[in-house]
Amino acid sequence: MAKTPRKTSTKARTTTKSKSKPAARSAAKAPAKRAAKAPAKTAAKSPAKRTPKPRAKSPAKSPAKSPAKSAAKPAASRLPVLKTPIYKASKSELMDFYEQMLLIRRFEEKAGQLYGLGLIGGFCHLYIGQEAVVTGLQSAIEPGKDSVITGYRDHGHMLACGIDPNIVMAELTGRASGISKGKGGSMHMFSVEHGFYGGHGIVGAQVSLGTGLAFGHKYKEDGGVCLAYFGDGAANQGQVYESFNMAELWKLPVIFVIENNQYAMGTSVNRSSSEDQLYRRGESFRIPGMQVDGMDVLAVRGAVEEALKYVRAGKGPVLMELKTYRYRGHSMSDPAKYRSRDEVQGVREKSDPIERLKAMLLKQGVKEEELKALDKSVRKTVMEAADFAEESPEPELSELYTDVLVEQY
């Protein structure tokens, strides 16, 4: 009696399943038969055929492609492209450039000698090899109107600003007759009279101060432009990008000048910077960039003239990368073992800025004797500066308490 219900139940389930299968098949065939009878109308109305068409086309219409278009050229596409022409200098201008670069080199060579003799204390960073950068840039600005600020490698900048070599050398040797009364030394020289605001030992600190100088020019409406120099190492400092943002936001008249001498102390720019094309660093702030051969004084002069036109027109800042090279170590205490002598010699032979300009002058008919005479005159000027420094007295002890606070600006 107990088994009968189970058998009946099994048959019932089997019968239900067997009946459902034909029903399913007939249900599946029904739409197909109806579609066959009315192919045109049914195909148009059938959701089965209408749905796949939009799905097939949807990837093409998808907004997923929009970011790809905008990401192709994120900020650079919105930036103006500034030309970097070669400056067409007269023979007289070429001679002036040559003399200025010679003065910087001979001065720095003498400073290196005095450091070796113990007459210059503290740090001493030489500018040998980079002379074309500051010579080309400073020759284009307007003295008494524009301002200049730089880092610790500042001797060449002071000389290019027209400051007397005697008082620069006196400052290096810590004498009272120095430009900062012997208190600034190699890295902290100032001359407001010449529009030179230092000389700063903290890496990249001068960039923010230069932005402030540019704000001052705009606030006073004096038409001035600030040249804010810094190196490839300082280009990775955070305050530099804060300055970029403010300068572009307020359209400040500043030219950010990166003197890329290839090494941040002993570290190659290729090892320290993920983006080693440093002129692109301003793109996200919408600051146009220029990359210039910093070993060619005419290329530098031509490029900075374009930059000055842009900035003086009130369009905001410009970022210039000057690719140059220093022959000596980071400072006089740096043996520069991180690079080979062959590397340095190779740059000297192929790209030395003074030799390049000398070759150009010789082609234009300037006599070798004339250039030698000019070099002799420059050497005499430097020797006199060294003698002046050595003969100048050291500061009085009472000077420790002066110039601590600004009494009048």
Two tokens at 202?
């903290």
Residues of the chain where predicted confidence (pLDDT) is lower than 50: 1-49, 51-52, 54, 56-71
pLDDT for the residue numbered 400: 87
Q: Give 108: exposed, middle or buried? Use CB within 10 Å, 0-12, 13-18, 19+.
A: buried
pLDDT for the residue numbered 407: 73
Q: What is the pTM of this model?
A: 0.80
Number of H helices, E strands in the chain: 16, 7
pLDDT for the residue numbered 10: 43
* CA 269 distance to own-chain centroid: 12
CA dihedral 205, 209, 214, 217 (to 10 degrees): -160
The b/e string for 304-320 (b: 16+ C-beta within 10 A; e otherwise) is: bbbbbebbeeeebbbbb
**Where exactly are the structural domains of the chain?**
1-36, 89-396
CA atoms of 338 and 294, how far apart (whole Å): 22
Widest pairwise Cα distance in the chain: 135
Mean of per-residue pLDDT scores for the chain: 86
The identity of residue 70, as a single letter, is S
In this structure, are strands 267-268 and 263-264 parallel, antiparallel, or unpaired? antiparallel
pLDDT for the residue numbered 44: 42
pLDDT for the residue numbered 329: 85
The SS3 of residue 20 is helix
pLDDT in tens, 87-143: 999 999 999 999 999 999 999 999 999 999 999 999 999 999 999 999 999 999 999
182: left (phi over 0), alpha (psi -120 to 50) or beta: left
So what CATH class is 89-396?
Answer: alpha beta
